[in-house]
Amino acid sequence: MTEQPHIVDSHCHLDFPDFAEELPDVIARARAAGVMRMVTICTRLRNVPQVRAIAEAHEGVFFAAGTHPMSAAEEPMARIEDLVALAQHPKFVGIGETGLDYHYSADSAAVQQESLRLHIEAARQTGLPLIIHARDADDDMARILSEEHRAGAFGCVMHCFSSSAELAAAALDLGFYLSMSGIAAFPRSGALREIFAAAPLDRILVETDSPYLAPPPHRGRRNEPAYTAHTAKVGAEVFGLSLADFAAATSANFDRLFTRAAA
């Protein structure tokens, strides 16, 4: 029997209430689907203890933390020294998610930008990758990332990428990665799949962003890490590869970026 390809869910939210009653089962289903490693993301720094505990309790689960842009105006401003201190934990693998989201919260654009720049500096100081959320803010996002990268290099993934081809090109030019979520598997996401197809294979990751954005055949229901396998199948088709080859390529990409969680 052919061994099942190993896939990485590079971005999920295992601390969310959606999983509270069955987290061990969720992780077991992920492993049964070939998803052997997961990064669970803390979006409000006050929730770090809960997220850290999940990573500590489960093999193959790592964590990252930051202030989500949609919460930037509600939460205390992140401090670089606090983010750097989190990096002392061996299972802490990334800074964020941070970024810009003007879809619902454009009124806090200035606060979001300040928060983003603080997270970037923490990524520089720790050597850990930045995890970026970008929605309806392509011009400012490309500008800030370019400005900051010129001031000092850092690694980065554009998580759940669903923005423009122009922002994709800007990110790739800086050496960043694009992460493919369930959105790329939606039937009407042909233009997004073309953006991924034009990108170098060695800059692609896969994720769920669960509990959100479940790919077909689970669209409209709660997402979970096991469903990364469905997105990976679509990714394999986009790049004209077997699932095994695409899983191996994206896992190698994950190892290169998220060095602390490398297999």
Residue ranges of the annotated binding site for a divalent metal cation are: 11, 13, 97, 133, 159, 209
What tokens does 150 get?
A: 């010129």
DSSP states of 229-260: HHHHHHHHHHTT--HHHHHHHHHHHHHHHSGG
Whole-number Å distance between alpha carbons of 114 and 126: 19
Mention every residue, 6+ apart, whose C-beta is less than 8 A from residue 254: 8, 10, 37, 205, 261, 262
Which residue in the block uniquely carries the two structure tokens 């989201």? 101
State how beta strands 35-42 and 61-65 pair. Answer: parallel
2: phi then psi, degrees, rounded to nearest 5: -70, 135
Q: Which amino acid is it at 126?
A: T
Beta bridge partners of 134: 100
Q: Do the Cβ atoms of 225 and 9 come closer than 8 Å?
A: yes
Q: Residues annotated in the binding site, as ranges? A: 11, 13, 97, 133, 159, 209
